[in-house]
Amino acid sequence: MSDKPQQVYIDGEFFHESDAKISVFDHGLLYGDGVFEGIRFYNDRVTCLEEHVDRLFDSAKAIHLEIPASQEEVRNMVVETIKRNQLHDGYVRLVVTRGTGGLGLSPYRCEKASIIIIASTISLYPQEKYDQGLILATCATRRPTHDSLSPSVKSLNYLSNVMAKVEALASGAEEGVMLNTEGYVAECTGDNIFVVKGGIILTPTVASGSLNGITRRVVIDLAIKAGFELKEIQMSRYDMYTADELFLTGTAAEVVPVAQYDKRIIGEGKPGPVTRQLIEDYRNLVETTGTPIY
Pairwise CA distance, residues 82 & 287, whole Å: 16
Active-site entry in 4, 21, 83, 154: 154
> Averaged over 197-225, what is the pLDDT?
95
In a domain, 152, yes or no: yes
Pairwise CA distance, residues 251 & 215, whole Å: 6
Domain containing 90 — which CATH number? Answer: 3.30.470.10
Last residue of a domain, one of 90, 120, 150: 120
Q: Is the pLDDT of residue 251 over 80?
A: yes
In a domain, 144, yes or no: yes
Phi, psi (rounded to 5 degrees) for 16:
-60, 145
Q: What is the DSSP letter of 286?
A: H
Last residue of a domain, one of 87, 120, 153: 120
133, 203: one domain: yes
Q: Considering Cα of 69, then 75, then 78, then 84, what sign does the dihedral take?
A: negative
pLDDT band at 142 (very low <50, low <70, confident <90, very high): very high
Contacts of 260 (CB under 8 A, 6+ apart): 133, 134, 135, 136, 266, 269
Q: Is the pLDDT of residue 1 over 50?
A: no
Is residue 45 within 8 Å of 256, Cβ to Cβ? Answer: no
165, 277: one domain: yes
216, 278: one domain: yes
136, 60: one domain: no
Q: Which range marks the domain in which residue 76 is found?
A: 7-120
In a domain, 43, yes or no: yes
Q: Is the pLDDT of residue 272 over 60?
A: yes
Angle between helix 214-225 and 49-62 (nearest 10): 130
In a domain, 266, yes or no: yes
Cβ neighbours around 150 below 10 Å, total:
16
154, 24: one domain: no
Pairwise CA distance, residues 281 & 275, whole Å: 10
Pairwise CA distance, residues 203 & 65, whole Å: 31
In a domain, 293, yes or no: no
Lowest mean pLDDT across 119-128, 198-207, 248-257: 119-128
Is residue 195 within 8 Å of 246, Cβ to Cβ? Answer: yes
Pairwise CA distance, residues 257 & 277, whole Å: 11
CA proximity to 250, closest of 88, 59, 38, 75: 38
223, 284: one domain: yes
114, 174: one domain: no
The amino acid at residue 201 is I
In a domain, 280, yes or no: yes
H/E run at residue 50: helix 49-62
Number of domains in the chain: 2
pLDDT in tens, 55-87: 999 999 999 999 999 999 999 999 999 999 999
In a domain, 138, yes or no: yes
Domain containing 279 — which CATH number? Answer: 3.20.10.10
112, 234: one domain: no
Pairwise CA distance, residues 94 & 91, whole Å: 10
pLDDT in tens, 149-205: 888 899 999 999 999 999 999 999 999 999 999 999 999 999 999 999 999 999 999
Q: What is the DSSP letter of 173?
A: -
β-pairing verdict for 229-233 and 90-97? unpaired
23, 144: one domain: no
24, 90: one domain: yes
pLDDT in tens, 16-50: 999 999 999 999 999 999 999 999 999 999 999 99
Last residue of a domain, one of 120, 138, 157: 120
- Is 154 assigned a catalytic role? yes
141, 87: one domain: no
In a domain, 294, yes or no: no
Beta bridge partners of 245: 196
70, 206: one domain: no
User: pTM score, two decimals?
Assistant: 0.93
